């Protein structure tokens, strides 16, 4: 940390000045929204917890971590190290703590003038407790992400005042103030950014649960409650959808539609967080601590009378009262671990709060931090918030991981700021979306108790998610045309086709495939492909091949996938299934995709090879089996060497093939085919050799060593998709300039008139 402090510099003061806003704070913040590291915290509505709008931008420090892999970046220097995330957070807060400023702190804007902005993912629980991990993390995002902004702007809604704060730092003989202030002035004096747009997939959001599966999970929780394991569990389902457009535009639209006290936008570089949370997790002001759990939900009514009835019903509900009381007790216990004895009090219980789509019951619990305790102690004692885990917390987190298929990441984590001067305000990350790699993901859930009705609980999640779901209504992308696969005799949408997990093709790669080039509906060398398919079927499956009219099947797939007037790559795949006797359960499928020749976008017409350092020897190489990982990884390795193909060697270091093609070596009107004990006999290789033989070339097969390759006049690789393509170099060493023989081959064989 000392090296980090040396580069980052010490905060020597806080520069402040009033800002006169000529536009709403949301529009003002939009000027900074495209900058990585920007955080916008908007307080919607007029509740007593919704006083400040805050912007943090242009970070001078970025801190992120996943498990115990920590990264801190300051002034273009990045430090990667192993450490506990909470310990690292504490070290950063201590390193830049503000307790010796030359000015009266009361002169500085509340609630923050220097500190960290960002999030803590729910999955940080595994750094606090030893819990089983049985759900899948598909996002692979940081478990915590914080930035220390150079520019902080605080707008007080009550006083209608706005102030700029710039932490002044001395580092490497420089002071940042002049540069950061100039950047701020430049941004706010420029033209406002154009309003962005966003759209979602025409198919809408898809859940990781069916309704029946979600209801069954609730029944399982009720069984755990009946058995005495737990009293309450927060159960959620996750929705996701393809998305495009501007994340800040989504944030802005959501805020205008349904402002809530803890709106948050975080531009975290490769992902964005958009939160519309109504719930405060922790508020710290010096030693004073507050938490505001929410439990109990009802939809808003369609008429004033119905709306009033639903609010009264929630307020009088014994079930919701018990649920909220249970969580209040849990949180009293959590903050009591780090607060002075006797200081923890319930200041308000069962407050009815109204939002656009729902009513909530809210309680307020306060306490005073014990001497020697700090923000990180408070976090470790309370994280993740009990209102969104259940009671008792550890056992409920185990059950959540058992029943929810996906890791939660930001959902039910925390978002907000932790200052360098003993203030903190974090919301519970509910009604919160992550936008990452063209997808938007969010989760919604509810507290399940013994008398919960599974259908009611399922519908409650839909009420809670309505704001995020409905904001995309009317903004759907034009529906993409579905791709289809022929599978076991039927044409099905490719995203609905499946292979049983017991299929030996899935478990062991027990199967094979054929790839066929189809030009404007005409399969190339189909009979040769079918002959090879049948031979492989008999060899690997020890059965008679299926009696199928392959040209008709391929035509159906080509037509269904709208590829009749272009070039396509068709793949036939056969898996073994798991039955030794009829009726067999093979999976047999045919796919089709548009195909563009690999030389189409290249200025130089040829390929470069790199010698793969792992020789290959397996009898399976005689067939195009589904156990194709060796060749796939060889191809990826070649790309990493700035080559197009990997040159595969035999164990005796003779030449065999490339990762996708056969090799033909040409010299003095002689074609040499490298000999391998096991190598796939290529369809195009055979066709090309027959073509050349008819034009006076001699065809022979010999062992060829790597060093021999440079003695040939030219080298061609062949497969059914590319036809013939010349090789230009091997491991960066140039080969003789190829003739136009490969073009003549392709003209005659690949593009027949």
Packed helices 375-382 and 85-95: angle between N→C axes, nearest 10 degrees: 160
Q: How far apart are the C-alpha atoms of 708 and 674, rounded to whole Å? A: 11
**Which helix or strand (DSSP H or E) is residue 739 part of?**
none
In a 3-state reduction of DSSP, which class is residue 331? helix
Q: Which secondary structure element, helix H or strand E, spans residue 197, and what is its range?
A: none
477 tagged catalytic = no
d(CA 363, CA 321): 11
SS3 39: strand
Distance CA(364)–CA(387), nearest Å, equals: 12
Task: Report the Cα 454 to chain-centroid distance in Å.
Answer: 30
**How far apart (Å, rounded) are the C-alpha atoms in residues 40 and 248?**
10
Nearest to 35 by CA among 17, 16, 71, 60: 60
388 CA to centre of own chain: 23
DSSP class of 127: G
The residues, ordered by sequence, that sit 6+ positions from 51 with a Cβ below 8 Å of its Cβ are 43, 156, 157, 158
CA dist 2 and 450 (Å) reads 53
SS3 of 400-434: the string is HHHHCCECCCCCCCEEEEEECCCEEEEEECCCEEE
Is the distance from CB of 180 to CB of 169 less than 8 angstroms? no
CA of 212: how far to CAs of 209, 401, 406, 470, 561, in Å?
8, 19, 17, 23, 33
Question: Who's near 329: CB < 8 A, 6+ residues apart?
Answer: 391
Token pair belonging to 352? 């009815």
Which positions ≥6 away from 47 have C-beta within 8 Å? 261, 353
Cβ-Cβ contacts under 8 Å for 177 (sequence gap 6 or more): 15, 166, 168
Cα dist. 506→400, 499, 501, 543 in Å?
29, 7, 6, 20
Q: Which of 125, 295, 393, 464 is catalytic?
A: 295
* Catalytic status, residue 295: yes
Residue corresponding to tokens 């390795």: 637
Phi, psi values for residue 365, rounded to 5° = -120, 130
In whole angstroms, how far apart are CA 705 and each of 142, 649, 710? Answer: 48, 9, 10
Cα–Cα distance between 466 and 447 in angstroms, integer? Answer: 18
DSSP 441: E
Distance between CA 254 and CA 472 in Å, rounded? 10
Residue 84 to residue 66: CA distance in whole angstroms: 10
Give yes or no for a contact between 623 and 538, defined as CB atoms under 8 angstroms apart.
no
- The H or E element spanning position 11 is strand 10-18
Contacts of 40 (CB under 8 A, 6+ apart): 26, 29, 32, 33, 53, 54, 55, 56, 248, 251, 263, 264, 265
DSSP labels, 49-65 = T--EEEEEEEEEEEEEE
d(CA 225, CA 443): 23
Find the catalytic residue in 279, 323, 366, 457.
279
Catalytic positions, please? 279, 295
């Amino acid at each position: 940390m000392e090296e980090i402090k040396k580069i980052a510099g010490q905060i020597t003061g806080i520069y402040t000045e009033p800002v006169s806003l000529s536009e709403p704070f949301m529009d003002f913040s939009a000027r900074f929204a495209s900058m990585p590291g920007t955080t916008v915290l908007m307080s919607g509505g007029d509740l007593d917890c919704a006083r400040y709008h805050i912007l943090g931008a242009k970070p001078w420090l970025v801190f992120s971590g996943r498990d115990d892999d920590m990264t801190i970046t300051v002034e273009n220097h990045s430090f990667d190290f192993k450490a506990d995330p909470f310990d690292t957070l504490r070290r950063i807060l201590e390193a830049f703590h503000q307790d010796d400023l030359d000015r009266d702190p009361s002169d500085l804007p509340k609630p923050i003038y220097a500190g960290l902005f960002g999030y803590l993912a729910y999955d940080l629980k595994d750094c606090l407790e030893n819990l089983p991990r049985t759900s899948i993390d598909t996002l692979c995002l940081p478990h915590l992400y914080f930035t220390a902004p150079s520019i902080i702007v605080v707008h007080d809604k009550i006083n209608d005042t706005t102030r700029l704060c710039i932490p002044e730092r001395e580092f490497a003989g420089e002071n940042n103030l002049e540069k950061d202030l100039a950047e701020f002035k430049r941004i706010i004096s420029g033209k406002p950014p154009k309003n962005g747009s966003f759209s979602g997939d025409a198919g809408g959001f898809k859940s990781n649960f069916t309704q029946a599966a979600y209801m069954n999970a609730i029944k399982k929780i009720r069984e755990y409650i009946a058995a005495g394991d737990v009293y309450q569990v927060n159960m959620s389902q996750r929705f996701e959808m393809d998305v495009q457009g501007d994340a800040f535009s989504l944030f802005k639209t959501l805020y205008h539609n349904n402002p809530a006290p803890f709106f948050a936008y975080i531009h975290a570089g490769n992902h964005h967080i958009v939160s519309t949370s109504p719930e405060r997790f922790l508020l710290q002001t010096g030693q004073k601590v507050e938490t505001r759990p929410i439990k109990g939900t009802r939809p808003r009514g369609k008429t004033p009378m119905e709306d009033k009835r639903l609010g009264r019903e929630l307020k009088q509900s014994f079930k919701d009262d018990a649920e909220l009381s249970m969580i209040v007790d849990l949180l009293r216990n959590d903050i009591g671990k780090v607060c002075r004895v006797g200081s923890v009090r319930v200041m308000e219980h069962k407050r009815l709060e109204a939002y656009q789509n729902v009513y909530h019951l809210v309680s307020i619990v306060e306490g005073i931090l014990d001497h020697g305790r700090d923000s990180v102690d408070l976090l470790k004692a309370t994280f993740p918030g009990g209102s969104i885990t259940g009671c008792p917390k550890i056992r409920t987190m185990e059950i959540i991981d058992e029943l929810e298929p996906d890791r939660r990441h930001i959902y039910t984590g925390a978002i907000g700021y932790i200052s360098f001067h003993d203030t903190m305000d974090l919301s519970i990350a509910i009604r919160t979306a992550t936008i990452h790699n063209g997808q938007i993901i969010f989760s919604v859930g509810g507290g399940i108790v013994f008398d919960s009705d599974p259908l009611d609980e399922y519908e409650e999640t839909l009420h809670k998610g309505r704001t995020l779901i409905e904001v995309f209504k009317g903004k759907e992308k034009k529906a993409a045309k579905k791709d289809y696969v022929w599978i076991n005799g039927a044409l099905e949408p490719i995203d609905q086709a499946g292979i049983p997990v017991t299929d030996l093709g899935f478990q062991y790669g027990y199967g094979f495939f054929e790839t066929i080039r189809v030009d404007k509906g005409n399969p190339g060398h189909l009979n040769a492909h079918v002959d090879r398919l049948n031979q492989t079927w008999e060899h690997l499956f020890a059965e008679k091949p299926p009696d199928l009219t392959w040209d008709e099947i391929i035509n159906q797939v080509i037509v269904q996938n709208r590829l009749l007037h272009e070039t396509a790559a068709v793949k036939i795949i056969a898996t073994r299934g798991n039955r030794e006797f009829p009726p067999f359960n093979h999976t047999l499928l045919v796919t089709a995709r548009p195909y563009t020749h690999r030389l189409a976008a290249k200025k130089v017409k040829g390929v470069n090879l790199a010698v793969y350092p792992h020789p290959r020897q397996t009898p399976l190489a005689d067939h195009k089996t589904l156990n194709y990982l060796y060749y796939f990884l060889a191809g990826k390795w070649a790309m990493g060497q700035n080559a197009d193909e990997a040159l595969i060697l035999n164990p005796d270091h003779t030449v065999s093939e490339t990762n996708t093609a056969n090799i033909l070596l040409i010299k003095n009107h002689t074609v040499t085919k490298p000999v391998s004990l096991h190598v796939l006999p290529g369809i195009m290789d055979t066709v090309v050799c027959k073509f050349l033989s008819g034009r006076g070339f001699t065809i022979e097969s010999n062992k060829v060593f790597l060093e021999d390759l440079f003695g040939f006049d030219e080298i061609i690789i062949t497969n059914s998709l590319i036809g013939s393509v010349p090789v230009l170099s091997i491991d960066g060493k140039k080969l003789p300039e190829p003739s136009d023989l490969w073009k003549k081959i392709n003209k005659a064989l690949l593009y027949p008139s």
